[in-house]
Amino acid sequence: MEKFLTQDGYAVSNSVRGFLEEFGLLEITFNNPKNNKFINTIYVDPRKTGVFKSVIDAYGRHCDTTMVSVADLPNHCMTICITEDGSFFGGYDDWLLKLGNDFYEALYHLLFGTEIKPDMVKLDE
């Protein structure tokens, strides 16, 4: 996965490398916390995110950090990104949410449907 990210133009920091070594290819399936009739799945695989690097770069500029897309939550059209310091964000189009300071906190918020106020991100530079 690191080779894929490098080929796509991402700088792979130690936080990205460590996260992918520990959680890469993990699939987490859970009931939608807002409606148990629906199932959500998080795919920890940067090759499945399908978001342009320019969008991820805009997210990073908005937060004044470097971000890498590492996972996908397709039922919510959300790309999950990690920063160079190991924080996690969820992005969809021009909206960005801070999911947590680490993967476990981010996962908690996703599994339990924590209300997080999104920021509007300027995508055009």
Q: How many angstroms separate the most distant Cα atoms in the chain?
A: 40
pLDDT at 81: 98
pLDDT at 50: 84
Domain count, the chain: 1
More confident residue, 102 or 124: 102
Q: Is residue 16 part of a domain?
A: yes
pLDDT at 76: 85
Which residues have a Cβ under 8 Å from the Cβ of 20 and sit 6 or more positions away?
A: 1, 2, 44, 46, 70
Q: Is residue 23 part of a domain?
A: yes
Instruction: Give the containing element (helix H, strand E) for 125.
Output: none
Q: Is residue 18 part of a domain?
A: yes
Instruction: Give the containing element (helix H, strand E) for 2.
Output: helix 2-7
Domain that holds residue 100: 2-120
Q: Is residue 33 part of a domain?
A: yes
Closest C-alpha among 111, 113, 80 to residue 97: 80
> Per-residue pLDDT tens for 38-85?
999 999 999 989 899 999 999 999 999 999 999 999 988 999 999 999
Q: Is residue 125 part of a domain?
A: no
Token pair listed for 125: 């530079």
Q: Taking the model in full, what pTM does it have? A: 0.94
> Does residue 125 register a pLDDT over 70?
no
Q: Is residue 39 part of a domain?
A: yes
pLDDT at 56: 96
> Per-residue pLDDT tens for 81-112?
999 999 999 999 999 999 999 999 999 999 99
Q: Is residue 49 part of a domain?
A: yes
Q: Is residue 64 part of a domain?
A: yes
The Cα–Cα gap between 91 and 119 comes to: 9
pLDDT at 87: 98
